[in-house]
Structure 1
Amino acid sequence: MTLPVVGDLAPWADPQVVSIHRLPMRSNITSYADIASARLASREKSPWHVSLNGKWSIARYEDVADVPADAITGNCAQWKSIDIPGNWTLAGLGDLPHYTNVQMPWQGRPPSLPATVATAVHRRTFTLKGAWKSRRTILHIGGAESVHMVYVNGEFVGYGTDSRLPSEYDITAFLAAGENDVAIVVCRYSAQSHLEDQDQWWMAGLHREVFLRSQAIVGIHDVRVDAGVEEKSLRTKPVGTVKVTVDVQVPMSERLKTGWKAVAHIETLAGKRIGAEHSADVAWFDLPYVFPGNTAVLEWKVPGVSLWSAEQPNRYRIIVQLVDPDGVVTEIVPVLTGFRTVATKGNQFLVNGKKVMIRGVNRHDHHPVKGKAVSVDDMRADLVLMKQHNVNAVRCSHYPNDSRLLDLCDELGLYAVDEAN
């Protein structure tokens, strides 16, 4: 197995190496072929989304140094299988879960590691759809505990850390016609484990979803929607404010030719458009701590909106389209949002100008059988149970949750306290 080399230490032993060839972080948005399918907001309905969840082949090794070269490309027909998302610590492969907080299950000071680091190679194949071949193909790994390396058709693609955040890689250049082989090598522990010493059950593996997404060569990388309310209108007829920021990704981070536009409108969940369509040119931004590249910013007001709160989680849909200089729509992305204001006044917490009493609970990703590999149905069941007991807030203890849990909080009406890992 070809291992990435960055410095004197292996990446998983070096706390300063957080990623190799990983794409910039973004929202978990999905591109659709038309507005009708975008309104369904079901990724399975998008021609540009392919799930890689399900059965994978897996082989576990006592240490990363024990992984043979042919584990990435050789015959894996005799390997065991595992359901992904899943934890190999619950698959009878020799490693067990353990519960700890700041006390590491090995001796030494950070960033020390145990003498051997259990490692598992996960493999499966996929075949590209015909329409994907003229576009970019992105591999999405929702979460891997502790760190991971990606190989496609035997070639090293990239490396990622943070077991509770997604990692994405552009695998277009590594693909072949017909069947392709992807291998994801996961190390149970890493130097980053000292930063992730949360009070919980520790597992190992690909515990969140894995999928492929197709993006136009010039495509929407990210969409940010900031929906607020004019404060002076809170006591009368609320006037919503919308700011939509669209980041456009171009090969080699080149500047786009003039003429590209981002177009957006807001509508009810039933599909009734509210007000006019808005557009903005895609311009070049190169500021520190922001997406460096081609960005369009659209802002407008929406009179007479219904506000979002935990008691009444009213939401709207914003449809964002990327349009080329010839007027052709190249990508369509939907985003659901709600209009609200959040503020503090003295020791009071205010939502839409009204006092709110927080009745919250802490929540971990945890399932008695599946460990950290909780499904959307599991998440919904947790949140519905909270609502049934008059809970109105959930703390994502102690790490970023799957973004779909935040979507469910938005849908069901729960204030969410997100946390870093």
Structure 2
Amino acid sequence: MFAQSPPEIEDPSIVEINKLPPRATIFNFESKNLAINDNPEHTQYYQSLNGIWKFNWVRNPDDRPLDFFEPNFNDSSWDDFHVPANWEINGYGVPIYLNHPYEFSYHPEPPTIPDGHNPVGSYRKSFTIPEKWKNRRIVIHFGAVKSAFFIWVNGEKVGYSQGSKLPAEFDITEFISIGKNSVALQVYRWSDGSYLECQDFWRISGIERDVYLSAEPKIRIADFWAKTPLDPQFNNGELSLEIDLFNDSITDEKITVHTELFKANGRRVLNRTDRIWIKANSPLGFNYKNTIRNVDVWTAETPNLYKLNITLKKGYKVISSISEEIGFRTIEVVGGQLLVN
């Protein structure tokens, strides 16, 4: 089965379908030690989908396969393609370098892409969900896909995304089951977003960054934002922390939020505990400020960083833990000059 291009790729009012909201790059670890080490590959709730995928490439979107996402589709004649990688670097199409002209049309008519000239890559891969992931939220993460793509899981359409250099995440919990599953992508080289992405770089396509699955706890850290300016004397750091939580369970829960901040030498300079109630099936956001005395400031010459750890507990049991490095600095414009600290 073959057909014309889907309307979404030429509709500026549609840039995503069922995609999760953007957030800080975090991973909900099951222990504080794992979070401090900050390597998702060491946790049992991470699964990389990098590696070999089955792959089909066509120059004309009218020739793309339509039923390829079905679990029983026979892809034995398809090529093996290593993800992440660009098509053009691997012999599928031609890499193009331009600055401001549009590479897909001499006479552009935004937001349309010329008929018959928009290569499409179709991908398929099988994966296994372990038993220990049961009752957790399963998210699939794409670090970057250029230019636009649709995703199916086990034959069911999950969503759509544009934004070639931004991560795209989808909640696929309702589409998967314990055991063997399949994921399929159809990626378009150009979309209406390509008009905005006409910049001074190589025009290449495909799944460009890591792909992985994560199994998140029912109560989790959904996002956070750390603001870290210095005080007016440039001696102390003013940590302003915003934390967004979410409770996917069916009951209200009482939890503790434990926040710590460590210097590069391991010395703890902040140790704070907050006890909160979070309602069932609901988000909860809270924020607070702390002054860090005699802070080691960040500069280009001395890029001092602190390790921030946020851990959720229910009783004595760790539910989730994240860690990120942060630096303290003040950037301002004074008298027409850009000043740091």
Q: Give TM-score, length-normalised by structure 2.
A: 0.90
- Partners in 2 of 1:98 and 1:151 — Cα distance? 29
Match in the other structure for 2:87: 88
CA shift for structure 1 position 351: 1.3
Is 2:302 the partner of 1:312? yes
Is 2:330 the partner of 1:341? yes
- Native 8 Å contact 1:279 1:298 kept in 2: no
- Partners in 1 of 2:125 and 2:302 — Cα distance? 44
Is 2:66 the partner of 1:77? no
Q: Aligned partner of 2:14: which letter?
A: V
Change over 3 Å in CA distance of 1:52–1:89 after alignment to 2: same
Change over 3 Å in CA distance of 1:127–1:2 after alignment to 2: farther
2:39 maps to which of 42, 60, 74: 42
- Residue pairs, 1:138-149, within 5 angstroms: 138-149=139-150
Q: Aligned partner of 1:183: which letter?
A: A
Is 2:11 the partner of 1:14? yes
Is 2:258 the partner of 1:257? no
- Native 8 Å contact 1:226 1:242 kept in 2: yes
- Partners in 2 of 1:221 and 1:181 — Cα distance? 26
CA shift for structure 1 position 170: 0.2
Q: Deviations over 1:142-192 (max 9, x none)?
A: 111110111111110010011111110000111122111111110011111
- Partners in 2 of 1:96 and 1:139 — Cα distance? 29
Match in the other structure for 2:204: 203
CA shift for structure 1 position 2: 11
- Native 8 Å contact 2:252 2:277 kept in 1: no
Quick one: percent identity of the two aligned structures? 29
Q: Aligned partner of 2:229: which letter?
A: G
- Partners in 2 of 1:2 and 1:212 — Cα distance? 30
- Native 8 Å contact 1:241 1:299 kept in 2: yes
Match in the other structure for 2:276: 281
Q: Aligned partner of 1:330: which letter?
A: I
- Partners in 1 of 2:34 and 2:253 — Cα distance? 29
Match in the other structure for 2:112: 112
- Native 8 Å contact 2:147 2:164 kept in 1: yes
For these two proteins, the number of residue pairs brought into alignment is 333
Change over 3 Å in CA distance of 1:20–1:142 after alignment to 2: same
Q: Aligned partner of 2:98: which letter?
A: T
**Partner secondary structure for residue 36 of structure 1:** helix
2:267 maps to which of 264, 272, 275: 272
- Partners in 2 of 1:141 and 1:159 — Cα distance? 12
- Partners in 1 of 2:113 and 2:63 — Cα distance? 16
- Partners in 2 of 1:271 and 1:92 — Cα distance? 49
2:97 maps to which of 96, 99, 102: 99
- Partners in 2 of 1:212 and 1:226 — Cα distance? 29
- Partners in 1 of 2:203 and 2:66 — Cα distance? 28
Q: Aligned partner of 1:336: which letter?
A: E
Match in the other structure for 2:185: 184
CA shift for structure 1 position 331: 0.5
Q: Which 4+ stretches in 1 moved above 4 angstroms? A: none
- Partners in 1 of 2:340 and 2:311 — Cα distance? 31
Q: Aligned partner of 2:299: which letter?
A: S
Is 2:33 the partner of 1:32? no
- Partners in 2 of 1:245 and 1:49 — Cα distance? 26
- Residue pairs, 1:305-384, within 5 angstroms: 305-324=295-314, 326=315, 328-352=317-341
CA shift for structure 1 position 138: 0.3
Match in the other structure for 2:159: 158
**Partner secondary structure for residue 134 of structure 2:** helix
Q: Aligned partner of 2:319: which letter?
A: T
Between 306-315 and 293-302, report the one with greater CA deviation: 293-302
**Partner secondary structure for residue 323 of structure 1:** strand
Change over 3 Å in CA distance of 1:279–1:349 after alignment to 2: same
- Partners in 1 of 2:28 and 2:11 — Cα distance? 36
Is 2:232 the partner of 1:231? yes
Match in the other structure for 1:400: none
Q: Aligned partner of 1:101: which letter?
A: N
- Native 8 Å contact 2:110 2:192 kept in 1: yes
CA shift for structure 1 position 90: 1.7
Bigger RCO (CA 8 Å, 6+ sep)? 2
Change over 3 Å in CA distance of 1:329–1:62 after alignment to 2: same
**Partner secondary structure for residue 333 of structure 2:** strand
- Residue pairs, 1:382-421, within 5 angstroms: none
Match in the other structure for 2:124: 123
Match in the other structure for 1:299: 289
Q: Give TM-score, length-normalised by structure 1.
A: 0.74
- Native 8 Å contact 1:283 1:295 kept in 2: no
**Partner secondary structure for residue 201 of structure 1:** strand
- Native 8 Å contact 2:122 2:186 kept in 1: yes
- Native 8 Å contact 2:28 2:220 kept in 1: no
Between 126-135 and 159-168, report the one with greater CA deviation: 126-135
- Native 8 Å contact 1:262 1:296 kept in 2: no
Q: Deviations over 1:294-339 (max 9, x none)?
A: 2121321111221111111111111101234x45431100011011
Change over 3 Å in CA distance of 1:243–1:327 after alignment to 2: farther
Between 263-272 and 211-220, report the one with greater CA deviation: 263-272
Change over 3 Å in CA distance of 1:66–1:152 after alignment to 2: same
